[in-house]
Amino acid sequence: MTNEQLEKLLSELSLEEKLGQLTQVEANFYLEHTGSDVTGPEANIGLAPDDLKLMGSVLNCVGADNCIQLQKTFMENHPHHIPLLIMQDVIHGYRTQYPVPLGLACSFNDELTEACARMAAKEASLEGVHVTFGPMVDISRDARWGRCMESCGEDVTLTKRMGSAMVRGFVHDGGENTVASCVKHFCAYGAPEAGRDYNNVELSERTLRQTYLPGYKAALDAGARWIMPSFNSIGHLPMTANGYILKDILRDEWGFDGAIISDYNAYREIQWHGAAESMKDVAEITRHNGVDMEMMSATTFLHSKELLEEGRITMEEINTSVMRILQEKNRLGLFENPYRFADKTAAESYILSASCRELAQQAAEESAVLLKNEGALLPFGKDMKKLALIGPFAAEKGIKGAWACAGRDEETVSVYEGIKTMLPDVEILVDAGCSYNLLNDTPVDVLTANAEKAAALAKEADAVLLCIGEYQDYSGEGNSRCEIRLPLQQRILAEKVLKENPNAAVLLFGGRPQDITDIEPMARAILYMWQPGTMGGAAAARLVFGEVAPSGKLSMTFPRSVGQEPIYYAHQTTGRPVADPNIPGAPFPYTSRYLDMPTSPLYAFGYGLSYTTFEYSPVTLDTDTLTVDGTITASAIVKNTGNVTAKESVQFYVRDLIGTVARPVKELKDFKKITLAPGEEIVVSFTITEEDLRYWGKDLTYGSDAGTFHAFIGPDSNTQNYAEFKLVK
């Protein structure tokens, strides 16, 4: 439709039809079996059956036939036959699941991430989805927060790069088998006080702009046409009611002309925050703040008529939002083809196809992070006779992760299945040894007896894989944890098993950084698999037996203890820097230290080992003086000094030594993933411009200072391999 036709359509709509366009409900308000059950206060949002004929959008309509049937019936009943927008949480796959985003970000691979999102978009669009509620680009620096699994981790640059890659994959050229992207959760949802989901967020304007906003902006710049305000309040103001961020920054500063959709029931939660007296007030507040569509509540639909009559909102405000929704529907071609790419037959032949599985497996392989590998214990030789697979994840198929959309555990390859398929002649002894339940109350003597039984298997095997960690349902929404240690039963099992056989390696699963300080000294090798998705077990087999070398680098810092949270590499020195962050109670008493623990993490951001070793030359610069319109090229020679071909994510950090405010000890500015054969070396170069050095200074202006900087090139955020340069103005 042309804009004139849209304007004409808008002019013909009744007020109820307009308000319906601004409302999204669950598909199971229309259909029986959609795979989503609405419970609690959301089950009844006050709409009458006839109101449902006027809605603007549905979420959670799974299956091409469901989407086609729903759309057909709906349009027949709608007075102006306006098609529904069908939206879904396609976060790390639709049916074929690749690793949770926190894991995929460890690949430091833009192309792979984009390809995964592209595959997800194709599966989803064939099943009738128009818009995905993704990517989630909330900066996550607190492992207590369960939704860190859905994020791209702690770093601004990594989040911008991975989030943009996901948007490109989803949206592509807007053509065949694409979906529109709704970036979320706007904003700073990942910084809740105490790491507790939905809690208040306290940020300075500087930290908000320097750290928490750039990821959303990058996703919008990459083509996301929707954005979703977050459940949290910032400075006690609920985000769905935050006009400063939703209007002054998003609309006015950034020029965003797409649509804003609330999170699930977040409108009514403004009242539950205690920031509105009634649902009618909520409808007024959100209208003034330019939130366009209301997800799974109906304050707009039920109260706007009165608000108009009382002059508390204007028809222009309503028309503006309705026009945005009609324009997004039009942009997707829904007026010409309301079913878009829904095609049951094509879906059945593409979903979970070999190409989807291969890509998901590659993603799982490149997301895995080798944290330890003493004496090159890994990879195991394929010529072994007997392998002991011990632990609750030895044969567990629930490794697809939270927010797994239409993914099914029964379609996931377990570690046992992956290894059995690869090495059918190896005898595999399996014993779960314990559960993964966090709140297990089994008596310790029973736990010990079970662990000793499992350890007996370890004793008789040639090698052992201890498969432990956090179950997929213990991260994700609403799943914050106070304690992020491995559960007691797993710590007992690890202690018994790891001492029984020197050839014992640990495969760790989880959706967040976990405190593995207890088992780290006992384990010779630790491979972090994250929640690896549909092909997780197959990827684990190839990694453990050396068909592919691990290349993952941590997207989020691993603490020694939850007491260090939030912990991240781009921290401040403070006025009392610790002499040696690796020594507990570092020598001089009055420093920013812990008495009982080093201030350093167990594993730093960007850290990850390989089956080979890489050597970095000192950093060289083509000039040590940067002018405002000039550039500096920083380079290092990276050499594979081991004996297997492997990938390495070379990281480029910059430190601003003096600012008008304190600056982080370093900030990731770029990264490049390379593949080197044994003995091969290449020059890896990065370009620095004045723009790369800008930040929000003392008076909150965005700019750079003349002065001294360090340019680091290294394998992780601990690198001290740098060269010094000056910016002159």
Distances (CA, A) of 137 to 306, 433, 460, 567, 569: 37, 37, 47, 18, 18
For the bound state, the minimum distance from the C-beta of residue 135 to ligand GLC, rounded and expressed in Å, comes to 11
Pick the closer one to ligand GLC by CB: 57 or 96.
Answer: 57
Kindly write down the DSSP assignment for every residue of 448-494, as one continuous string: HHHHHHHHHHHHHSSEEEEEEE--GGGSSTT---S--BPPHHHHHHH
Q: Cβ of residue 166: shortest distance to ligand GLC, in angstroms?
A: 14
110 makes contact with ligand GLC (CB under 6 A)? no
- Beta pairing, strands 131-132 & 85-88: parallel
Smaller CB separation from ligand GLC, 7 or 477: 477
477 touches ligand GLC (CB under 6 A) = yes
Query: For this structure, is 263 an active site residue?
Result: yes
Whole-number Å distance between alpha carbons of 393 and 468: 6
CA distance readout (Å), 457 to 385, 486, 524:
13, 22, 18
C-beta of 184 vs 273, nearer to ligand GLC: 184
Residue numbers 179-238 binding ligand GLC by CB under 6 A: 184
Q: Which is nearer to ligand GLC, 184 or 560 (CB)?
A: 184
For the CB of residue 573, give the shortest distance to ligand GLC in the complex, in Å: 36
Question: Residue 587 corresponds to which tokens in the numbers above?
Answer: 């020598």
Rounded to a whole number of angstroms, the minimum distance from the CB of residue 132 to ligand GLC is: 9
Q: How far is the CB of 133 from ligand GLC (least distance, A)?
A: 3
Running DSSP on this structure, what letter comes out for residue 586?
-
Taking CA atoms, 623 is separated from 513, 620, 627, in Å, by: 39, 9, 10
- Please count the residues of this chain forming the interface with ligand GLC, following the rule CB under 6 A: 7
**Nearest residue to 506 (alpha-carbon basis) of 385, 322, 377:** 377
Among residues 89, 123, 396, 648, the one that binds ligand GLC under rule CB under 6 A: 89
Q: How far is the CB of 385 from ligand GLC (least distance, A)?
A: 48
> In terms of CB distance, is 92 or 184 closer to ligand GLC?
184
Q: At what angle do helices 444-460 and 488-498 cross, to 10 degrees?
A: 30
Q: What angle do CA 719, 724, 727 make, to 5 degrees?
A: 130
Q: Are 71 and 341 in contact (CB under 8 A)?
A: no
Q: Is 263 in the site for ligand GLC (CB under 6 A)?
A: yes
Single-letter residue type at 436: Y
133 vs 393 by CB, closer to ligand GLC: 133
Torsion of CA 228, 229, 232, 234, to 10 degrees: 150
| Contact pattern for ligand GLC over residues 52 through 71, marking x by CB under 6 A | -------x------------
Q: Which single residue brings its beta carbon nearest to ligand GLC?
A: 133
Least Å from the CB of residue 151 to ligand GLC: 11
Does position 406 bind ligand GLC by CB under 6 A?
no
- Which residues, in sequence order, are CB contacts of 274 under 8 Å at separation 6+? none
Give the closest residue to 658 by CA, choosing from 707, 586, 603, 725: 707
Element (H, E) at 463: strand 463-469
Nearest CB to ligand GLC, comparing residues 189 and 652: 189
The whole-angstrom distance between residue 569's C-alpha and the CA centroid of its chain comes to: 18
Question: Are 131 and 86 in contact, with CB atoms under 8 Å apart?
Answer: yes
With binding defined as CB under 6 A, does residue 26 bind ligand GLC?
Answer: no
State which of positions 119-138 bind ligand GLC (CB under 6 A): 133
Q: Which is nearer to ligand GLC, 59 or 492 (CB)?
A: 59
- Active-site hit among 263, 343, 656, 705: 263
Amino acid symbol at 278: S
Figure out which of the listed residues 264, 350, 416, 709 binds ligand GLC, where binding follows CB under 6 A: 264
The least distance separating ligand GLC from the CB of residue 190, rounded to whole angstroms, comes to 12
Which residue type occupies 381?
A: G
What residue type is assigned to position 618 of the chain?
Answer: P
CB neighbour list of residue 313: distance below 8 Å, 6 or more residues apart: 283, 284, 287, 288, 304, 307
Q: What's the closest the beta carbon of residue 184 comes to ligand GLC, in angstroms?
A: 6
Q: 250-255: long-range contacts at Cβ-Cβ below 8 A with a sequence spacing of 24 or more?
A: 250/186, 251/290, 254/217, 254/220
How far is C-alpha 717 from the geometric centre of its chain's CA atoms? 20
The DSSP H or E segment spanning 493 is: helix 488-498
CB-nearer residue toward ligand GLC: 29 or 616: 29
The residues assigned a catalytic role are 263
Interface contacts to ligand GLC, rule CB under 6 A: 59, 89, 133, 184, 263-264, 477
